[in-house]
Amino acid sequence: MPLVTTKEMFAKAYKDGYAIGAFNVNNMETIQAIVEAANECRSPVILQVSAGARKYANPVYLKHLVQAAVETSDIPIALHLDHGADFDICKASIDGGFTSVMIDASSKPWEENIALTRRVVEYAHSHGVVVEAELGKLAGIEDDVHVEASDALFTSPDEVEEFTARTGIDSLAIAIGTSHGAYKFKPGQDPKLRLDILEEVGKRLPNFPIVLHGASSVPQDKVEIVNSFGGDMPNAIGIPESELRKAAQMAVCKINIDSDLRVAFTAAVRKHFAENPSHFDPRQYLGDARTMMKEMVKHKIVDVLGSANKA
């Protein structure tokens, strides 16, 4: 099956109360881990590429690695630009074969966010590509942008109808308590999602797919592995997976997960070298890393997203 857009995936997910995982990819092992997990769980999946990933791996390499994943699996796969910062990166991704792009103008003034998003939508739709945009501001770090928790802003439900109508977007990312990165909340805090805001957004935008960024939960067992084998990750927690599960049963159709996969990958590499200090063949430690990442993706599909057997 060729790459697909997210249109049909989201329509089914909305109707049946689950969400599709959008996992960030940077190299071959990551793509294999995610797609093998999704294939074995018979789940649709979104592979997303950030500006940092484009810089690290070269978008042409990523495109062809994703093409290899498409040819060796038989589940719906969408290729998505994560946090597109301007029109040019969205256009380059559309021209390069992506089936979905995010234009992230959420830090810009209202009219500017609308104008830029509308411009991307016009170009994308004329090429059969769908568009995600964002309202509100998440705390955390993505690429070179660092938003302090005190500057984070929940999405206002009063704005969503005008924004979606004037831009013509296909899905909307909202800020309801998640944040980017692996250092989110301190243990002892009780992070929760503002499901009341999600519910209100859902009433204002019937049948419209909502997206959650910053949805890693910082798995403590993997952080412990990293730290027990020489790592020094600060003690931190994310939004509990049970809260994300509730959001997936509501209007949320796409849940972005990157940091939890990074932590799993790194935990396996640290463990491998602690147990095998003489190893030097990258296939040995990258193989372990790929396996641990694959297990993490399966766990998310089954226990958080609810998208198993929906391919």
Stretch that binds ligand G3H, among 47-55, 96-104, 202-210, 246-254 (CB under 6 A): 47-55
Q: Helix 241-249 vs helix 195-204: angle between axes, to the nearest 10 degrees?
A: 10
- For 205, the token pair is 């935008």
Q: Residue 213, interface with Zn ion (CB under 5 A)?
A: yes
> Are the beta carbons of 262 and 222 closer than 8 angstroms?
no
Q: Residue 24, interface with ligand 13P (CB under 6 A)?
A: yes
Residue 261 CB-density burial (10 A; 0-12 exposed, 13-18 middle, 19+ buried): buried
Q: Which helix (H) or strand (E) holds 236?
A: none
Residues in 106-145 at the binding interface with ligand G3H, rule: CB under 6 A: 142-143
- For 274, the token pair is 């602690």
- Tell the smallest beta-carbon distance from residue 2 to ligand 13P (Å): 24
Task: Count residues near ligand G3H (CB under 6 A).
Answer: 10
Query: Which residues, in sequence order, are bridge partners of residue 153?
Result: 137
Nearer to ligand G3H, 83 or 222 (CB): 83
Q: Residue 5, interface with ligand G3H (CB under 6 A)?
A: no
Nearer to ligand G3H, 54 or 310 (CB): 54
222 binds, among Zn ion, ligand 13P, ligand G3H, none (CB under 5 to 8 A by kind): none
Max Cα–Cα distance, the chain, nearest Å? 60
Residues in 154-193 at the binding interface with ligand G3H, rule: CB under 6 A: 180
- Tell the smallest beta-carbon distance from residue 180 to Zn ion (Å): 6
Stretch that binds ligand G3H, among 6-14, 49-57, 115-123, 188-196 (CB under 6 A): 49-57
Nearer to Zn ion, 117 or 256 (CB): 256
List, by residue number, the catalytic residues.
82
Cα–Cα dist 300/307, whole Å: 9
Among 12, 39, 52, 168, binds ligand G3H (CB under 6 A): 52
Shortest CA distance to 47 belongs to which of 74, 72, 27? 27
Q: Residue 198, interface with ligand G3H (CB under 6 A)?
A: no
Q: Residue 258, interface with ligand 13P (CB under 6 A)?
A: yes
Stretch that binds ligand G3H, among 46-54, 164-172, 228-236, 246-254 (CB under 6 A): 46-54
Cα–Cα dist 34/46, whole Å: 9
- For 150, the token pair is 């005190």
Cα–Cα dist 184/181, whole Å: 7
Q: Residue 106, interface with ligand 13P (CB under 6 A)?
A: no
Helix segments in the chain, DSSP class H: 7-16, 28-41, 51-57, 59-71, 87-95, 110-125, 157-167, 195-204, 220-228, 241-249, 259-275, 282-299
Q: Residue 180, interface with ligand 13P (CB under 6 A)?
A: yes
- Site residues (vs ligand G3H, CB under 6 A): 24, 50, 52-53, 82-83, 142-143, 180, 258
- Site residues (vs Zn ion, CB under 5 A): 213, 256
